[in-house]
Amino acid sequence: MQDQTLPKRVLDNLSTAVVVVDAALIVRYLNPSAEALLAVSRARAVGQPFTDCFIEIDGADTAASLRETLATSHPYTKREAHLRVGIQEITVDYTVGLLMAPGMPVSLLIEMEQMDRLLRISREEAILAGHQATRALIRGVAHEIKNPLGGIRGAAQLLARAQAGADVSDYTNIIIEETDRLRNLADRMLGPRKLPELQPVNIHECLERVRSLMLVEAGGRAQIRRDYDISLPELNADPDQLIQAILNITGNALQALLENPAQQEPCIVLRTRSLRQFTIGATRHRLVIRVDIIDNGPGIPPALLETIFYPMVSGRANGTGLGLSIAQDIVHQYQGLIECESRPGQTIFSILLPVEQDNGRN
């Protein structure tokens, strides 16, 4: 490789660390970014085994993987590899590919990018988001508890001052009712506690039940449209739980529409589709039913969008913030997930339900 060639100048000025090794895994070239990343000079590294300066500390056999690429010509990428560089440990993503040119021996091209800073930023953002969500949860719980406790305390004070023989049923009723409010709040935060009664369920029957309820509540002030894929198979699920999850989301959408008087022709669309070979979390499912609940309301504020599925997080002054949390918990029992996308004029809640489930995980 001639020093004055254009490819050499390009490689020397890349911010990505690049190393070229021959078929014997001996370093033949590394650019300045690779020198900085691996803390080794070009004069010292060139002519030495690559594994002398590229030491993975997670037990991976780097040399065997490199030889396999030489033998099969199949490139590979490894994420978050942990390397020992001097007395430090660093995290990199790296890609290995075959490098072939006419009249030149076969070599390997190794591209590396340090991920420590990005991982640290990601961890810090997750910590901050979790802290903010926890604070919102605590404030919400405190607010919901404080109101009934005030009523209980006031009724108890009046009861204490009541004269002997006086009718104190009003005070005791207040105490009972406000205590029930606290118990119901705790029950809702715990979520569904009974085991699901599994049976074959047509998702459209659940949607039609919710639609009929929403039409009554809307009273002609909003449209509830259908967009169904009637070829979808049945699910093995508890219909009451699915209705509850869909109702929680659709009820929120309807309230958002009715509380926004500037919105023209309020409308909710209930849409179903199938997704094949779809991954939820780390699991790939052969067939997934997708239920979209779409409204043309004002949208969800971006600051709230990341935490709307946390309990006690609500965009409404009189909301408890439990509806979406409970819905997510119900769907999770079926190895599914609820996602949300929102902008002014369109909010889409997508319920993803695998058709085939491991019932032992429910």
DSSP three-state, residue 211: helix
Report the interhelical angle of 323-333 vs 239-258 (nearest 10°): 150
- CB contact at 8 A, 21 and 28: yes
Amino acid residing at 358: D
pLDDT at 180: 78
C-alpha to C-alpha distance for 140 and 37, rounded to whole angstroms: 47
6-114 and 122-190: identical CATH topology: no
Instruction: Answer whether 206's CB lies under 8 Å from 249's CB.
Output: no
Strand partners, 275: 288
In the CATH scheme, what is the code of domain 122-190?
1.10.287.130
Structure confidence at residue 362 (pLDDT) = 40
| DSSP H/E element including 127 | helix 116-161
What is d(CA 343, CA 22) in angstroms, rounded to the nearest whole number? 53
Tell me whether strands 267-280 and 223-227 are parallel, antiparallel or unpaired. parallel
pLDDT digits (tens, 9 = 90+) for 272-291: 999 998 888 778 889 999 99
Contact 60/79 with Cβ under 8 angstroms? no
Tell me, what's the pLDDT at 20?
93
Mean pLDDT of 312-339: 74
**9, HSE (Cβ side, Cα atoms, 13 Å):** 3
Confidence class of residue 347 from pLDDT cuts 50, 70 and 90?
very high
CA pair distance 303, 20, nearest whole angstrom: 46
| CB-CB contact of 80 with 101 (8 Å) | no
The pLDDT, as a whole number, for residue 101 is: 77
Residue ranges of domains in the chain? 6-114, 122-190, 199-361
Provide the β-strand partners of residue 203. none
155-203 residue pLDDT tens: 787 777 776 667 777 778 888 887 877 776 666 666 555 667 889 999 9
Residue 232 clears pLDDT 50, i.e. is over it: yes
pLDDT band of residue 2 (cuts 50, 70, 90) is: very low
- pLDDT at residue number 34: 92
**Distance (Å, rounded) from C-alpha 237 to C-alpha 106?**
56
CATH architecture of 6-114: 2-Layer Sandwich (3.30)
Q: What is the CATH number of domain 199-361?
A: 3.30.565.10
The whole-number average pLDDT for the span 123-145 is 66
Mean pLDDT (whole number) for 27-51: 92
Q: In the structure, what pLDDT confidence band is assigned to residue 133 with cuts at 50, 70 and 90?
A: low
Radius of gyration (C-alpha) of the chain in whole angstroms: 30
pLDDT tens for each residue of 76-110: 998 888 898 877 888 899 999 998 878 788 999 99
Instruction: Give pLDDT, residue 320.
Output: 52
Task: For residues 3 and 134, give the distance between their C-alpha atoms in angstroms, rounded to a whole number.
Answer: 57
How far apart CA 209 and CA 218 sit, in angstroms, is 14
Q: Which pLDDT score is estimated for 358?
A: 59
pLDDT over 50 at 43, yes or no: yes
Which whole number is the average pLDDT over 4-13?
Answer: 74
| Residue 140 φ then ψ, to 5° | -65, -45
Q: State mean pLDDT over 58-85.
A: 89
pLDDT band at 228 (very low <50, low <70, confident <90, very high): very high
Q: Look at the alpha carbons of 247, 253, 256, 259 in this order and tell me if their dihedral is positive or negative.
A: negative
pLDDT of residue 279: 85
Q: Per-residue pLDDT for 3 more than 50? A: no
